[in-house]
Amino acid sequence: MARRRARLTQRELAERVGCRQATVARWERGDRQPAFQDVQEVVGACGLQLDAHLLSEDRSWWPQIALQMERTPAQRVRALAPRGDLPDVMAVLDALAETGEWGIVIGEVAGALHGWPLVLSDRTVEVCAPERPSVPILGGGRATGAGKYELPSGGRLSIVEVPSGTSGYEDLARGAESVNVDGKKVRVAGLLDLLRIADASPEPGARRHALAYQAVLNVQRAQAEPKPVDDRSDGQKIEAWLSEQVPAA
Amino acid sequence: MLAGHRVAFVLIGGAAIQSHGRRYDTQDIDLTPATTPENLARLADALNELQCRLITDPADVGSWVELPSGYFTPRSLLAASVWNLATRYGQLDLCFTPEGFPGGYGDLHQRATERPVAGTTVVVSVAALEDVHESKRRADRPKDREYLQRDEETRSS
């Protein structure tokens, strides 16, 4: 993430920290864990500073994220859309799907499509795109400001050419995913890139978004881990849970 | 559903903050119910209709159990001070004694206000914003710190 934010190639970073490009590649793939000193050197080589805090571990979003993950991407957005705004957001995604690979969804709607637990704050879909959309692409939408458009459905599109911490569309395109939204393909920024954007953003609330993206990544990792088989009955599981609880009275 | 069953409760957590007009991203509902036998019976009826899953370990993804039909009774509800439940409408967390309020409903109800639920005719009792903030300060999770800091910045700007 730091390397991409600094817009360095793996080879350039390797030269700066004095290691082989293959080592950087292994760190990024997770094949090899860098020592803490390596992390500090990498962050410094990227022109960044590592700021560490001790915080209580917070998994309180995990159940909500797990529930979201059981849903389809479209259902996830519907579950998080503010009252009455749902058709607008879905109409924007529908229009985007018609454009093929023109834009990459970022921001809150991207978080929702990935399964985060935060309610959407409005009906705007943020997109990273290399150029302004033409009117036909937006199905008759009209410009309402610099990079901002309103569709006939009432949904809003906001275009960000260079999101914080990135070098723009090509940068995000590498990690973007094609997500099936009600049978249509929408390009959505990858979770690590969304975390990178939130991490570098000066916007109020960006820190909360970063926590939510990180929580989704943590849930995905936890779900991927093999678990021991629990052959207890549901009744036994409930009894075991109750035995660990503090009674209310 | 809870209002339909005339359950007495105080809304706490993020939904209470939203009800006070502050920005808080949440989709779950946290509430503190009154513990009179009559109210617990009404609450049990409502929960049984919701067909809940019990989240046995919020920190372990996938640790949940489908509760048997009619599981909740006044007695079974009091067997735990916190219930993390997944319902078909979203997550519902019951907390009989929130952080900083050992008296639960009795503590919170005194300063709570009646507020309408947006887009409905339902009116619910919402914990005072100061009480919700106090509970969040005591819980001291990263997201609580982030919210309290942002709220402080918003108010001072």
What's the mean pLDDT in B119-133?
Answer: 90
Query: The domain spanning residue A30 has which CATH number?
Result: 1.10.260.40
Does A234 fall in a domain?
no
Residues A212 and A122 in one domain: yes
Q: How far is CA B33 from its chain centroid?
A: 8
Asked if residue A176 and residue A78 are part of one domain, the reply reads yes
Please check the confidence at residue A116 and state whether its pLDDT lies above 80.
yes
Strand, coil or helix: A105: strand
A239 located within any domain:
no
Cα–Cα distance list, B134 to A14, B13, B100, B138, B152 (Å): 48, 11, 7, 6, 13
CA distance A90 to A13: 41
Instruction: Check whether residue A28 and residue A149 sit in a common domain.
Output: no
User: Is the pLDDT at A134 greater than 70, yes or no?
Assistant: no
| Token couple for A59 | 């998994």
pLDDT tens digits, residue range A196-227?
A: 999 999 887 788 899 899 999 999 988 888 87
Same domain, A71 and A14: no
Coil, strand, or helix at residue A94? Answer: helix
Q: Do A219 and A110 have their domain in common?
A: yes
Is the pLDDT score of A145 beyond 90? no
**A248 domain-assigned:** no
Residue A145: which CATH number? 3.30.460
Q: Which is more confidently placed, A114 or B155?
A: A114
Closest residue by Cα to residue A97 from A160, A182, A189, A190 = A182
Q: Is residue A213 located within the same domain as residue A94?
A: yes
What's the total number of domains in chain A? 2
Residue B18 tokens, joined? 């939203």
Cβ distance A238 to B84 less than 8 Å, yes or no, reads no
Q: What is the DSSP letter of A128?
A: E
**How many Å apart are CA A191 and CA A8, to the nearest integer?**
20
B56: nearest CA in chain A? A241
CA distances (Å), origin B110, targets B124, B130, B140? 14, 13, 24
Question: Is there a contact between A67 and B86 if contact means CB atoms under 8 Å apart?
Answer: yes
Distance from CA of A69 to the nearest CA of B (A): 10
Label residue B130 by pLDDT band (50, 70, 90): very high
CA distance B132 to chain A (A): 17
Q: What is the ipTM, given to two decimal places?
A: 0.85
Same domain for A210 and A95: yes
> Which residue range forms the structural domain that includes residue A8?
2-45
pTM above 0.90, yes or no: no
A233 within some domain:
no
Please tell me the distance from the alpha carbon of residue A181 to that of residue A71, in angstroms, as a whole number.
Answer: 11
- A205 within a domain of the structure (yes/no): yes
pLDDT of residue B81: 95
Whether residue A53 has pLDDT greater than 70: no
pLDDT of residue B132: 95
CA distance A246 to A102: 54
Interface check for A203 against chain B (CB to CB < 8 A): the answer is: no
Q: What is the mean pLDDT of residues A86-112?
A: 87
Instruction: Count chain A–chain B contacts defined by CB atoms under 8 A.
Output: 116
The mean per-residue pLDDT over the stretch A139-155 comes to 83
Select the residue from A53, A64, A108, A244 to test the B interface by mutation, using most B Cβ atoms within 10 A: A64
Does one domain contain both A135 and A12? Answer: no
Query: Which residues 6+ apart lie within 8 Å of A226 measured at CB?
Result: none
CA distances from B72 to B27, B38, B53, B88 (A): 24, 14, 12, 17
> Which amino acid belongs to residue A7?
R
A67 shares its domain with A38: no
Task: Output the six-digit token pair for B152.
Answer: 């402080």
